[in-house]
Chains A and B, each alone.
Chain A
Amino acid sequence: MSDKRLTFKKRLHILKHRYRDKKMAPAFNAFHTFLFSPDETTHNGSHVRAVDDLKRTMNTVIMALVPVLIFSMFNAGYQHYSAINGFPQEFSVTEHFLTWDNFWIGVVKVLPLLVISYGVGLLVEFIFAVIKGHEVEEGYLVTGMLVPLIVPIDTPLWMLAVAVVFGVVIGKEVFGGTGMNILNPALTIRAFLFFAYPTWMSGDKVWVHGARERADQIAEGATNVDAISGETVLGFLAQNKGAEMSYSTWDAFWGFIPGSVGETPTFLILLGGLFLIFSKIASWRIMLSAVLGSLFMGLIFNQVVEMGWITETSKFYGLMSYEFWKHLLVGGLAFGIVYMATDPVTGAQTNRGKWIYGFLIGFMSVMIRVFNPAYPEGVFLAILLMNVFAPTIDHYVVRGNIKRRMKRLKNAVVLPKDSDQEAKELKAETV
C-alpha cells in the first residue's frame, strides 16, 4: 500500500510506534493525544471505563473561563478609554463596551499575556516531560488560562515569562508534576510577581492600560499628556475615599471596574461557577463554604463598625464599613473562590475537609483584605495559606474515620485458630 492511501490516523499511528521509547516520545504523544484520544485498551480489572479523562476535566474548566477572558478583553479597552475620556454619562453596553476599539486594546494587551503564559508554561512542561520520560500532563492547560486573568494588564511580558517559569518549576515540577503539587501553580506565579515586582503589582497606576506609561512620561517632563489613574474599588476603600468612587454596585457586579485582567466580571464568574457545579467538575462545597466564610467575616467587620469600636478616623474604617456582601463583588474574591480554591490537587480532598477549607478561605480573604496595609487584597494569599493547611485539615478528617474504626475494634470477635492437634489430624486425614 502506498503512503498516499494511508489515512491521517494511520500515519500518526505509524509515527507513534516509530517514536516509541525515544526521547521525544512524550512531546509527540502530547500532540497526538490532543488530536486523537488514544487507542489504549483496559487490562484486567475494570474492562470498561467511563468517558471522563483529565483532558476533558481540564477542558471544562477552560470553557468556564472563556466568557471571562472575552469580557476582560473588552474591559481592558473600556477602562483605558474611560480613564482618558471620562466614563460615559449614559452607559450602553453596545455603544460603549462592545466596541472594536475596546476589543483592539484587548487583542494588543490581553492576548500577548495569554500567549506568553501558555507558550512559556507548556514549554517548561514539555521539557520536563522529555527529561523525566513521562507524558505531558494536562494541569497547565487551566493554569495557563488563569495566569493572564489574575495579573495587572500592563505586566511586562518578560516579567510574566520569568514568573511562569518559576511557578511551573518551583510550584509544580519539583514536587513531581500535575497532581503532586502543594501550592496552586497559578497563584504561585501571582505571588512571585507580587513579591518580586511590587511596584508593578499594586498602587493606582497598574490596573488600567496606559496609566503607568503616562505617569512615567509626566515624570520625565512631558506636558502633552494627562495623567490617568485607575484605582480599584478596594483601593478607594483602603484610603477611606469610598465617597469619591464613581462605580456603582451594579458596575461591580457586571464587571465594568478596574482590576486584574479577568477578576472583575462577577456575573460571568457566577455563571462559570454554576456551570462547573452543574458539570460536577468543581466542588460546590468549597464554593458555598467560601462564600459563607467571606460573608461571615464581612459581617463581623460591619458589626465592629456598628458597635462604634472604630471611628471614621481609623485607617480600616473604609473597608470595615463596606457592606459585607459587597466584598464578593469586588477584587478577586469571586474569581478566587470559583476557579482557584476549587483546584482539587491543592485543596482539601475529603468532603468534610472541603467545608472547613472553603470557609477559612472566604474568612481569611476578607480579613487579609481589610488588614493588609500595603495592598488591599488577600484572596491569593488566603488560598495559598489554606493550600498549605489543606493536608492538615484532611489529616484530622481522616483521623475521625480511623477513630471510628478503632472504637469498633473493642467489640471485635477474634476467634482462635483450631488447635495444633486438630489441625494435624485434619492434615493427616486428607493427604
Chain B
Amino acid sequence: MSKDIRIKKGLNINLVGAAEQTTSKAVLSNVYALNLEDFHGITPKMMVKEGAEVKAGEALFYNKNREGMLFVSPVSGELVEIERGARRRILTLKILADKDQETLEHAVPDLEKASIPAIKQFLLKGGCWPFIKQRPYDIIADPDSTPKAIFISGTNTAPLSADLDYVLKGKEKELQAAINALSKMTPGKVHISIGRSSSSPFAELKGVELHKVSGPHPSGLVGTQINKIDPINKGEIVWTVSAQDLVIIGELLLTGKFNGERIVALVGSSVKQPRYYTTKIGTEISTFLYASGVNNENFRVINGDVLTGKKSSQDGHLGYYNNTVSCIPEGDDYELFGWNKPVFNKISATRAMTFSWLQPNKKYDLNTNTNGEHRAFVVTGMYEKVFPLDIYPMQLLKACMVKDLDEMEQLGLYEVAPEDFSLTEFICVSKQPHQKIIREGLDLLHKEIG
C-alpha cells in the first residue's frame, strides 16, 4: 500500500534565479577533478600513479577500509595531479581528458539469474557503489550489509534545486534497470516518493512502492520521507540513492559502461540565464558558468543547493553527487543598523519588524551574510515549526555538542542526516552550524558504536 505523505511543518525558500527548462550541452572540460571530500569517511588507497593513463570507468582508488569498493574516473585521460593536503591526505585527483574518449566495458550479468553477491560485485567493480548511501551515519553504504528498505526521493523541494521530473525525462529504462538491481538487495521494499501533481518518470516504474508527498520543504528530503514511511530504529539500516545517480547505475547495468553524464541545473541570482546543462561529473564549472553569464563579480559558487551544498569557486569542479550548481552574491559587507531596521528584502521566520510574511510568494535575492553573530541557543520552539521529523531538534543538537552518546542514540540521531537540519540552520537565531554539529555527532557515534 502506498502512503501519501503530507508535510505541514516546513518552509519554502523562494529565491531569484530558478533554472529555465531548456538544456544545452556544456563545452567539454579539459581537466576533470574528483574532490575526495565528497566521499565522507572514505580513506582512499590509490590504484594508479600520477601520470598514468586511465579509461573512463577505470578505477582510480579504492576504499582502504573495504577493499573492492572502487572509485572510477568519469573520463579517459591522464591522471595529471594528485593534490595532497596536511599529513599527505589526498584532496583532489585531476585528470586531463583525452580528445577521444574510451570507456572501460564490463561484462553485464543477467539480472534475472544473477546472485545478490554477483550484482553487488558488479556495482562495486563498475564504480557505481559510491552512489548508494546508507543511514544511519549518512555514509556510503556498507556492501556487506542488508538494508531493511531502500528509499529514493523523486522530488526536489530545496530552494532552486533541479526539477527531477525534467532532468529524468526519457530515462525510464535506466531507472527501471537500477530499481530491479537494488530491489534484489533488500528483503524490504524500494520506496520512491514523488510530488503530488508531478508527471514523474518514476510513476510508471514496476517493483516499487510509490508515495506522493506534498507540502513545503523539507518534504522532498529523503530523511523526511523515511521518518514518515518507516523510521529507522537502532540496528536497522536503510539505503538511499539520489534519483539522478540511479540513471548512472542503470546505464552500467544495461551497457556495462560507466557514464558520468548528467543534467545539471545552473541557478541563482548571480547567473544571467539560469538553465540546465548536460555535462559530466568532475567537469570544470567554468565550462558552463560563463555560457550563462554572471551578474556580478563577488559571488559564491556552490556545488549543490544553497542549503546543503559545498562551497566551490569559479574555477572549481562539479561535485560527485551534485546536480545543481548555485551562484549567489557574497554578503561580506556591513549593514547600518541591520539588526533593528525593518527588513523587506530578506526572508524571516518571524515577524519581528521583518515583512517576508506579507508576501509568501515573493522571490528573494539572498546573499551569504549570516545576518548576525554566533550565539548560544536562546530562542526555543522555532526549529519545531520547520522540522517535520518526530525528533526534538534542539535537544538532539545539544546532545551532539556535549557528545552524550546515550542521549544522541535515544533522541534519534540514527534517523537523520546533516541535510535534515538545513532548514533549522537557516532560521537559527543563534546562527549555530547545525549541519556541522550533526555531522560531527554522526561521525562520533559511528566511531564509538560502529
Contact = CB atoms under 8 A, between A and B. Distances in A.
Contact of B410 (A47, A53, A57, A405): A405
B335 interface: yes
B78 interface: no
A159 to B, nearest CB: 29
Contacts of B233: 405, 408-409, 411-412
A248 B142 CA distance: 75
A6 to B, nearest CB: 13
Nearest to A54: B375
Contact of A38 (B142, B147, B334, B354): B334
Contacts of A177: 376
A430 B67 contact: yes
Interface in B360-403: 366-382, 384, 390-392, 394-395
A59 B381 contact: no
A3 interface: no
A273 to B, nearest CB: 15
Given A39-B334, A46-B306, A415 B380 contact: no
Interface string A40-80: 11111111111111111101100100000000000000000
A86 interface: no
Interface residues of B, number: 99
Given A47-B328, A55-B339, A280-B349, A412 B411 contact: no
Given A33-B373, A47-B300, A281 B352 contact: yes
A46 B146 CA distance: 32
Interface string B327-347: 010111111111110010011
A17 to B, nearest CB: 13
Interface stretch (B50-58, B195-203, B422-430): B422-430
B307 A46 contact: yes
Interface stretch (B130-138, B257-265, B431-439): B431-439
B183 interface: no
A39 B372 contact: no
B187 interface: yes
Contacts of A45: 308, 418, 422, 425, 433-436
A345 B380 CA distance: 8
A430 to B, nearest CB: 3
Interface string A271-305: 00000001111010100000000000000000000
A395 B31 CA distance: 55
Contacts of B331: 39, 41
Contact of B352 (A60, A139, A402, A404): A60
A50 B69 CA distance: 40
Interface in B205-261: 231, 233-237
A93 interface: no
Interface in B306-340: 306-311, 326, 328, 330-340
Nearest to A413: B148
Interface string A396-413: 001001101110110111
A38 B418 CA distance: 26
Contacts of A408: 231, 233
Nearest to A394: B395
Contacts of B350: 52, 57, 60, 279-281
A281 B425 CA distance: 17
A426 B435 contact: no
Nearest to B430: A54
B54 to A, nearest CB: 17
B335 A417 contact: no
A41 B67 CA distance: 40
Contact of B368 (A42, A398, A426): A42
A414 interface: yes
B368 A47 contact: yes
A393 B193 CA distance: 37
B422 A56 contact: no
A47 B411 contact: no
B347 A50 contact: yes
B70 interface: yes
A138 B431 CA distance: 14
A56 B373 contact: no
B340 to A, nearest CB: 5
A52 B422 CA distance: 16
A137 interface: yes
Given A48-B426, A50-B349, A398-B392, A415 B373 contact: no
Nearest to B120: A426
B100 interface: no
B144 A179 contact: no
A423 B120 CA distance: 11
B339 A37 contact: yes
B109 interface: no
A41 to B, nearest CB: 4
Residue among A41, A179, A402, A409 having the largest count of chain B Cβ atoms under 10 Å: A41
Contact of B68 (A283, A413, A431): A431
A344 interface: yes
A63 B337 CA distance: 15
Contacts of B353: 56, 59-60, 63, 279
A240 interface: no
Given A45-B425, A55-B340, A344 B145 contact: no
B429 A52 contact: yes
Contacts of B433: 43, 45
Contacts of A36: 334-338
B216 to A, nearest CB: 14
A326 interface: no
Contact of B311 (A13, A44, A138, A345): A44
A52 B339 CA distance: 8
Contact of B392 (A49, A350, A409): A350
A138 B395 CA distance: 22
Contacts of A54: 372-373, 375, 378-379, 429-430
B373 A135 contact: yes
B328 A401 contact: no
19 contacts: A37-B372, A41-B368, A43-B311, A44-B309, A46-B422, A50-B371, A51-B343, A51-B347, A51-B356, A52-B352, A52-B429, A56-B353, A56-B354, A57-B350, A60-B352, A398-B392, A408-B233, A415-B147, A422-B144
Interface of A: 9, 12-13, 33-57, 59-60, 63, 135, 137-139, 176-180, 278-281, 283, 285, 344-345, 347, 349-351, 354, 394, 398, 401-402, 404-406, 408-409, 411-418, 422-423, 425-427, 429-431
Given A36-B337, A39-B334, A278-B351, 18 more contacts: A38-B372, A41-B369, A45-B434, A47-B328, A47-B368, A48-B159, A48-B367, A49-B428, A53-B373, A56-B352, A56-B354, A280-B352, A344-B378, A349-B395, A350-B395, A405-B410, A431-B62, A431-B67
Closest A-B pairs by Cβ, 5 of them: A53-B372, A37-B338, A179-B376, A430-B68, A36-B334
